[in-house]
Amino acid sequence: MTGLLLDFAPPAWEVYQRQRADELGARLRQALERLTSDPIAVCADSRSRRYHVIEEALRDGPEVWGLPVDAPDGTPWLVVWRRADRVIEIGYIGPASGSGKPAG
């Protein structure tokens, strides 16, 4: 364990809390645990993507990454995050763009 903490944006926290009791919640929890234990490996994963457009909108700050999570029904979900010092900031948790499903 690297000692990294998670800091959720309020909407991301709400979605995560709604999903915690089901299989998707377990998959999200696994992804978040992986992220806090080794964010460099998560970045190196071939499914992870860097979001330059979000970085440009935020102007200054760390790189923004998306970590895909497959829902049990096959719907692609996404955890959008960035690392700042000893904190992983979670900006979004929900269906990946274009999946057509509402979050939660």
Determine the structural domain holding residue 90 and report its residue range.
5-95
- Please check the confidence at residue 103 and state whether its pLDDT lies above 60: no
Q: At residue 31, what is the residue type?
A: A
Residue 85: per-residue pLDDT = 83
Q: How far is CA 11 from the centre of its chain?
A: 12
Residue 98: per-residue pLDDT = 64
Q: How far is CA 81 from the centre of its chain?
A: 5
> Is 15 within a domain?
yes
> Is 84 within a domain?
yes
- Please check the confidence at residue 49 and state whether its pLDDT lies above 80: yes
> Is 103 within a domain?
no
pLDDT digits (tens, 9 = 90+) for 71-101: 999 999 999 999 988 899 999 999 997 654 5
CATH code: domain of residue 67? 3.30.2310
For the chain, percent of residues with pLDDT exceeding 70: 90
**Whole-model pTM?**
0.85
